[in-house]
Amino acid sequence: MTIPRFAALLTLAATLAAAPLAVAQVTVADPWVRAVVAGQMATGAFMRLTAATDAALVDAASPVARIVEIHEMKMEGGVMKMSAVDRLPLPAGKAVDLKPGGYHVMLMDLVAPLKEGDTVPITLTVADKAGKTQKVEVRAAVRALTAGPSRMPAK
Ligand SMILES: [Cu+2]
């Protein structure tokens, strides 16, 4: 599975090097995944995404989880709710934070527990304005449960 995908990426890279840049360039900063406790089957991946041109995050995949979705958390009628979104807009030049309490990549039905110090490969699919997609490979460090501003608002 991994090798053909890698080959495809190399082909894409070669094509990009030869032609004017046609797909969105997205940079990923500080990717991390929250460690899970025993029995926990889902967790979130967080990072900062910045696209050079208008783009959107449209899909995510990881070998550590059987189901991966792009989620949004927001307050609705005083209750924090989490729901899947089809696409997360990445406006040109604007950093978009995936963080606890906001957008995140949801890793569900985990294949194995994720503990601090592990590295989680995540493949993001980004679409440009014309709908052309590009894969972005991310390696996220697993951090402890208490990492980051993860506390929910008290009320
Ligand atoms: Cu979620």
Please provide the average confidence, as pLDDT, over all residues in the chain: 85
Length of the chain, in residues: 155
Does residue 16 have a pLDDT over 50?
no
40 CA from centroid of ligand 1 (Å): 13
Nearest to residue 138, comparing CAs of 90, 98, 82, 85? Answer: 98
For position 6, what pLDDT does the model report? 52
CA 108 / ligand 1 centre spacing (Å): 9
Distances (CA, A) of 101 to 12, 19, 55, 68, 107: 35, 40, 23, 18, 15
Longest dimension (CA), the chain: 54
More confident residue, 147 or 64: 64
* Model pLDDT for residues 75-98, shown as the tens digit of each residue: 889 998 999 999 999 999 999 999
62 CB-side CA count, 13 A: 27
How far is ligand 1, taken at its centre, from the CA of residue 75, in Å? 14
State the distance from the centre of ligand 1 to the C-alpha of 50, rounded, in angstroms: 21
β-strands 42-51, 55-61: how paired?
unpaired
Q: Could you tell me the distance, in angstroms and rounded to a whole number, from the CA of residue 97 to the centre of ligand 1? A: 14
How far is 126 from 24, CA to CA, in rounded Å? 8
DSSP β-bridge partners for residue 90: 55
Q: Please state the pTM of the whole predicted model.
A: 0.78
Pairing relationship of beta strands 104-110 and 119-128 according to DSSP bridges = unpaired
- Check residue 154 and give its pLDDT: 43
Which residue in this structure is represented by tokens 């899909």? 59
Contact 84, 59 (CB under 8 A): no
HSE of 52 in the Cβ direction (CA atoms, 13 Å)?
A: 7
Please tell me the distance between residue 116's alpha carbon and the centre of ligand 1 in angstroms: 20
C-alpha 104 – ligand 1 centre gap (Å): 6
Q: How many A from CA of 46 to the centre of ligand 1?
A: 11
> What residues pack around ion ligand 1 (CB closer than 5 A)?
71, 82, 106
